[in-house]
Structure 1
Amino acid sequence: MYEWDFSLLWTYKSVLLLGIGYTLLFTAICVAGGLAVGLVVGLGRLSGNPWVTAPLRAFVEVFRCTPVLVQLVWFYYALPVLTGIEMSAPMAAGICLSLYGGAFYSEIIRGGIISIDPGQTEAGQAIGMTRFQVMRRIILPQAFKRMVPPLMSQSIMQLKNTSLLSVLAVPDLLYQGQVIAHETYRPLEVYTFIAVAYFIILLPATMWAKRIEQNHTQAKEA
C-alpha cells in the first residue's frame, strides 16, 4: 500500500511558485508573440502576389506539420549552428513557441477575414476608402468577433505547450517538478500536484472561452 504524503511539497513551495510564474510568463510572451506573427502572416496571405503568399504558406505548413517538441529541440541545438548566433534556452523556447503559435493564429485570422461578405469591401471602396481603411474600419471589427473563440482555444493550447519547455531545462512548472521528484523520490505526489495546478489554471480560461463561443453563437442565431 502506497502512503501518500503531500506535506513534503510545502517545503518546496517557493520552487513550485517559481515554476508556475515561469509557465504563466512564457504563456503570455508566446501568446503575444504568436498573435503578432499570426497577424502579419494572416494579412500577408491575403495578398494577391504569389511571391508574398508562397513563402508565408510554406512557413505555416512547416510549423503546423511538425511536432512542437522537435521544433523546440531544433531551435535550441541546430539553429545556433546554422546562424552562428548563440541563444539561451528561454530565448529559443520563446521564439519557437511564438512562431509555432503564429502559424495557427494566422490561419484563424485569415479565416475570420475571408468569412466577411466581400460586398462590404466593395461598398467601402465605393465610398472612397482605401483598402487599409476598409480593413481597419469595416472588416477587422467584424472578423475579430468571429476570431475570439478559436483564438482563445489556441491560447489555451499555448499554455499546455509550455510543459514541453522542460526538455530545454527552462525552469517552468514541470521542470521544477522533475527536480523535486528526483530529490524526494516522491513522483506521484509531485506530478499529481502539477496536474492539479494546470487544471486550476486552465479551467477558468476554458470556461471563459466556452462562454464567449456560446455568446457568439447566440448572437449569430439572433
Structure 2
Amino acid sequence: MYQWDFGSLWQFRSIIGIGFVYTLGYTIACIALGLLVGLLVGLGRLSTNPFISGPLRAFVEVFRCTPVLVQLVWFYYALPVLLGIEMSAGTAAMLSLALYGGAFYSEIIRGGIVSIDVGQSEAGWALGMTRFQLMKRVILPQAFKRMTPPLVNQSIMQLKNTSLLSVLAVPDLLYQGQIIAHETYRPLEIYTLVAIIYFVILLPATIWAKRLETRLSAQHG
C-alpha cells in the first residue's frame, strides 16, 4: 500500500510557484503573439493575390500538419544552426508556440470573416466604403462574435501545450515538478499536484468556452 504524503511538497512551494508563473506567463504571451500572427495571416489569406495567399497557406499547413513537440525541438536545435544565431530555450519556445497557435488562429479568423453574408460587403461598397472601413465597421464586429468560442478553445490548447516546454528545460510547472520528483523520489504526489493545478485552471476556461458556444448557437438558432 502506497503511503501518500503531499505534506512533503510544502517545502517546495516556492519552486512550484515559480513554475506556475512561468506557465501562466508563457501562455499569455503565446496567446497574444499567436493572435497577432493569426490576424495578419488570416487577413492575408483572404487576398486574391496568389503571391500573398500562397506562402501564407503554406505556412498554415506546415504548422498544422507537424506535431508541436517536433516544432519546439526544431526551433531550439535546428533553427539556430540554419540561421547561424544563438537562441535561448525560452525564445525558441515562445516563437514556436506563437507561430503554431497563429496558424490555427488564422484559420479561425479567416473562417469567421468568410462566414459573413457577402451581401453586407456589397452593401458597404455601394455606400462608398473602402475595404478597410468595411472590414473594421461591418465584417469584423460580426465575425468576432462567431470567432470567440473557437478562439477561446484554441487558447485553452495553448495552455495545454506549455506543458511541452519542459523538454527544452524551460522552468515551467511540469519541469519544476520533474526537479522536485528527482529530489524527493515521490513522483506520484508531485505529478498529481501538477495535474490538479492544470485541471483547476482549465476547467473554468472550458466551461466558459462551452457557454459561449451555447449562447452563440442560441442566437443563430
TM-score scaled to structure 1, two decimals?
A: 0.99
User: Which residue in 2 is equivalent to 1:37?
Assistant: 37
User: Which residue in 1 is equivalent to 2:118?
Assistant: 118
Deviations 1:13-49 (A, max 9, x none): 0000110110000000000000000000000000000
Secondary structure in structure 1 of the residue aligned to 2:128: coil
Q: What is the 5 A alignment of 1:35-114? A: 35-114=35-114
Unaligned runs of 5+ in 2: none
User: Which residue in 1 is equivalent to 2:186?
Assistant: 186
Return the alpha-carbon distance in structure 1 between the equivalents of residues 68 and 212 of structure 2.
Answer: 28
Q: What is the 5 A alignment of 1:6-21? A: 6-21=6-21
Deviations 1:95-116 (A, max 9, x none): 0000000000000000000000
CA shift at 1:213, angstroms? 1.1
User: Which residue in 2 is equivalent to 1:196?
Assistant: 196
Q: Which amino acid aligns with 1:213?
A: E
* Identity value in percent: 73
Deviations 1:186-217 (A, max 9, x none): 00001000000000011111111111111111
Unaligned runs of 5+ in 1: none
Secondary structure in structure 1 of the residue aligned to 2:193: helix
Q: Segments of 4+ in structure 1 off by > 3 A?
A: none
Secondary structure in structure 2 of the residue aligned to 1:213: helix
Q: Which amino acid aligns with 1:96?
A: S
Return the alpha-carbon distance in structure 2 between the equivalents of residues 147 and 172 of structure 1.
Answer: 29
User: Which residue in 2 is equivalent to 1:205?
Assistant: 205
User: Which residue in 2 is equivalent to 1:141?
Assistant: 141
Q: How many residues align?
A: 221
- 1:176 to 2:187 alignment: no
Return the alpha-carbon distance in structure 2 between the equivalents of residues 153 and 136 of structure 1.
Answer: 24
CA shift at 1:123, angstroms? 0.4
Q: Which amino acid aligns with 1:70?
A: V
- 1:217 to 2:217 alignment: yes
Q: What is the 5 A alignment of 1:125-164? A: 125-164=125-164
Return the alpha-carbon distance in structure 1 between the equivalents of residues 21 and 219 of structure 2.
Answer: 37
Return the alpha-carbon distance in structure 2 between the equivalents of residues 85 and 217 of structure 1.
Answer: 49
TM-score scaled to structure 2, two decimals?
A: 0.99
Return the alpha-carbon distance in structure 2 between the equivalents of residues 63 and 8 of structure 1.
Answer: 41
CA shift at 1:219, angstroms? 1.2
CA shift at 1:130, angstroms? 0.3
Return the alpha-carbon distance in structure 1 between the equivalents of residues 31 and 214 of structure 2.
Answer: 23
CA shift at 1:75, angstroms? 0.2
Return the alpha-carbon distance in structure 2 between the equivalents of residues 128 and 173 of structure 1.
Answer: 53
Return the alpha-carbon distance in structure 1 between the equivalents of residues 57 and 16 of structure 2.
Answer: 40
